[in-house]
Amino acid sequence: MSESLAAAGARVAIIYRGSKDAVEIAEQIGKDNNVRCKAYKCDVSDADLVTKTFKEINDELGPVTGLVANAGVSVVKPALEMTKDDFEKVFTVNVLGVFNAARAAAKLWVDSKYQGGSIVITSSMSSQIINQVGAGKPLTQIFYNSSKAAVSNLMKGLAAEWAQHNIRVNAVCPGYVETDQTSSMEESIRNYQASQVPLGRFAKPHEMAPQTLLLLSDYASYMTGEEYFVHG
């Protein structure tokens, strides 16, 4: 996503929590695309730190005009074995972290009277379905699915509240995507899931970028409060 934004000419701030390579990756993206790109370490569950980080980004890279909120984690185990810690792990990142980032961006825009800010939240097709690993075999990630349903509704609420400030808020809902996590799944599960997709395959990560770029741009100036499914 960061590479696609930079290739489109955007100044890019990458917020990360623990990646060892984030700083170097950001520098390389900037060099490859001749734009400013910098990584900022921040735990999105810490609202005060998120606000501070966004102000730092605004000061160092120039005015923030858009946000892609795509932090996400999952815990896979049967519902009867789920714990409060599992719930907090998932919802703290997937919902609270997204809200903290969105609020920090919106506060910058409201305080500066900037018109036209756009927030794109990465939700998931899992906001509306229960993923399957085989016929009649649900993927046991109940907190992930429910957190994505929550964040999609969060998006709609923020879009309604912030429309008065000309801030647009939308969500992109990916389907099955080739990631480190999905590539390590059993081949039989991958094949079954791919068979449920009309195009018959998982998406490449770069195929998620065009919808996000559209929603960030002025071409989507009359689009807010909606989920956009990119699921083949």
- Could you give the CA distance from residue 141 to residue 143 in angstroms, rounded to a whole number? 6
21 CB burial (10 A radius; 0-12, 13-18, 19+): exposed
Residue 156 and residue 225 in contact, taking contact as beta carbons nearer than 8 Å: yes
Query: Residues 2, 74, 123, 124: which is the catalytic one?
Result: 124
Residue 196 and residue 138 in contact, taking contact as beta carbons nearer than 8 Å: no
Is the pLDDT at 45 greater than 90? The verdict is: yes
* Domains of the chain, residue spans: 65-230
Residue 23 and residue 39 in contact, taking contact as beta carbons nearer than 8 Å: yes
Query: In the structure, what pLDDT confidence band is assigned to residue 19 with cuts at 50, 70 and 90?
Result: confident
Q: What is the DSSP letter of 34?
A: T
The pLDDT tens digits for 184-203 are 788 899 899 999 999 999 99
Q: What pLDDT does 203 receive?
A: 92
Residue with token string 């964040």: 151
Q: What percent of the chain has pLDDT over 70?
A: 100
Decide if 16 is catalytic. no
Instruction: Please give the model's pTM, rounded to 2 decimal places.
Output: 0.94
Q: What pLDDT does 184 receive?
A: 79
Decide if 144 is catalytic. yes
Decide if 156 is catalytic. no
- Could you give the CA distance from residue 2 to residue 45 in angstroms, rounded to a whole number? 21
Domain 65-230: CATH architecture, name and number where available: 3-Layer(aba) Sandwich (3.40)
Query: Residues 127, 144, 152, 176: which is the catalytic one?
Result: 144
Query: Residues 2, 148, 152, 176: which is the catalytic one?
Result: 148
